[in-house]
Chain A
Amino acid sequence: MAKHETPLLDQLESGPWPSFVSDMKLEAEVRAKNEAGIEFQIPVDVVDDLMGVLELSYVHGRTHWKHGGIVGVFGYGGGVIGRYCDQPEMFPGVAHFHTVRVAQPAGKYYKADYLRQLMDIWQMRGSGMTNMHGSTGDIIFLGTRTEQLEEIFYELTHNLNTDLGGSGSNLRTPADCIGSSRCEFSCYDTNALCHFLTNLYQDELHRPAFPYKFKFKFDGCPNGCVASIARSDMSFIGTWKDDIRIDQEAVQAYIGGEIAPNGGAFKGRDWGAFDIQKEVIDLCPTECMWMEGKELKIDNKECNRCMHCINAMPRALRVGQDTGLSILVGAKAPILDGQQMGSLLAPFVEVNPEDDYAAVTEVIESIWDWWMEEGKNRERLGELIRRAGFQKMLEVTGIKADARHVSEPRCNPYIFWKEDEVPGGWERDVKEYRKHHKR
């Protein structure tokens, strides 16, 4: 018998999609029965009370969590999101309901054994409920009490060799697409770079020292499977400098219908026979492709590496071999001054694990030096760029302005010049002017 009546929630158990309500009920039952004999460190009925408070929110159309919450572990300034219910008498199981962010492995590859050990900790010291994963990438332990935070942290670090993720005005947990682990489009090892930089900048991740939050994300190619261009202050997107590799035999196999286009992604509907002219050549944004007899040709110097042709014919077309990444900066959600996507800062940066990715870290650190000094309280990098100007960012990173930095040149004439660029400078005497121009 459930602790609270949940008629509204119960409706969400029907339908084909996996129901979070059914899952919560299952977990509530597992805790109530406790067949494994676990010494629960927080209320056994935490899940029941969570369903209760959620049902109440469904009835009221309002949240029932109090404002904010500051909890954590010694040594770190973030990693735990404190939360308290505003009806603690009615739902004592969730009077404290803190979220613990746990650092996830690059690409989110796991072994069952590791996940089992994580869950052993969490069943005993938390609610048993999780979010796999938070939008930033962390493993999310959903709901525990303050007294358990240090206990969980001790077990994670001592027994599982696992750390917390980031929260607060710091470097948040970096995340990546699966990269070259299982994708032939990947232009660099996103897992390796993500892991390396996460380790390198542990201090920046655990102890907030920034004007505001800062995120890294690593996409292996412009398809953007981790959406770095929209969801990270610094977005690292793989690309290449040389030619797209063409296997002309495979091109013919696509044309002959032996290979389904786009890896068979459109098989659910009859789109007719594959038409390379219509589906690839005519859709190329720079119109740099054509057929010469039976040969597919690409004018690579006009290609903007949008991935469309490669996506359409993955067995015939491959990314180049001279690979690296582009760095884009400033993406953020709307608050305060409007949403932004990343703007291209460094068109091509070498990715070299041999020298500890020196070309990448140089750009990161020069940006941090600037933003940490100039950024206002709670000003994202994207907003500082708007306030101080893109030009300023080029100066601090030592990157030379070029045409690729803009989608179009400015259309207003409010152009600043540096004094030393103008013959004679700014120091002028009005009397000298009056000699030639009467009042």
Chain B
Amino acid sequence: MAEVEFKGKKFVVDEDGFLEDFNTYTEEWVEFCMKEEGIDTLTEEHWNVINILQDYYKKNGIAPMVRVLSKLTGFKLKHIYELFPSGPGKGACKMAGLPKPTGCV
């Protein structure tokens, strides 16, 4: 486990740069991840995706399926990749502080 520091906040992350603990998420985390996720400026749409992911996770204890995320945000998958170049899993979920996707990926 590595610890990273950004704007006075400390985050414990795994090798893939995912937060070890969802509860340690703060808005600084998103700013910290931006660059390595290939994002220049954060727009309202980025925050929209992040907030929806967090709400869903808090309510259901899992990340939503891709098509559920599309429905909730109103964004097609293509647009989600425009916002988050590494995609909804490695990009958006990571920035939202959700646990690392698992399974046969």
Contacts and interface: CB of A to CB of B under 8 A. Distances in A.
Interface in B5-47: 15-16, 18, 38
A77 B89 contact: yes
B69 to A, nearest CB: 10
Contact of A77 (B18, B87, B100, B103): B87
A168 B62 CA distance: 17
A372 B87 CA distance: 18
A209 B90 contact: no
A70 B104 contact: no
Interface centre among A68, A84, A167, A372 (most CB of B within 10 A): A68
Contacts of A77: 81, 86-90
Contacts of B90: 70-72, 77
Nearest to B15: A84
Contacts of A372: 67
A378 B65 CA distance: 9
Given A68-B102, A70-B105, A208-B89, A169 B66 contact: yes
Count chain B CB atoms within 10 A of each CB in A76, A77, A213, A377 and give the residue with the most.
A77
Nearest to A167: B105
B77 interface: yes
A72 B86 contact: yes
Nearest to B38: A74
Contacts of A169: 66, 105
A408 to B, nearest CB: 34
Interface in B67-81: 67, 77-78, 81
SS class, residues of chain A in contact with chain B: loop
B65 to A, nearest CB: 5
B67 A70 contact: no
B61 interface: no
A213 B66 CA distance: 13
B93 to A, nearest CB: 9
Contacts, number: 67
- Place the interface of chain A in its size category: 20 to 34
A92 interface: no
Main secondary structure of the interface of B (DSSP, over half): loop
Given A211-B65, A377-B65, A70 B77 contact: no
A78 B90 CA distance: 10
Nearest to A71: B16
Interface in A194-231: 203, 207-211, 213
A70 B66 contact: no
A78 B87 CA distance: 9
Contact of B15 (A69, A203, A213): A69
Contacts of B88: 77
B18 A70 contact: yes
Contacts of B18: 70
A207 B65 contact: no
Interface string A361-383: 00000000000110001100000
Nearest to B87: A77
A374 to B, nearest CB: 11
B67 A208 contact: no
Contacts of A66: 15
A74 B38 CA distance: 7
Contacts of A377: 62, 65
B16 A82 contact: yes
Contact of B102 (A67, A96, A210): A67
B15 A75 contact: no
A251 B86 CA distance: 60
Given A72-B86, A72-B90, A74-B38, A209 B101 contact: no
3 A-B pairs with the lowest CB-CB distances in the bound complex, closest first: A77-B87, A74-B85, A70-B16
10 contacts: A68-B100, A72-B86, A72-B90, A74-B38, A77-B88, A77-B89, A82-B16, A168-B89, A208-B89, A377-B65
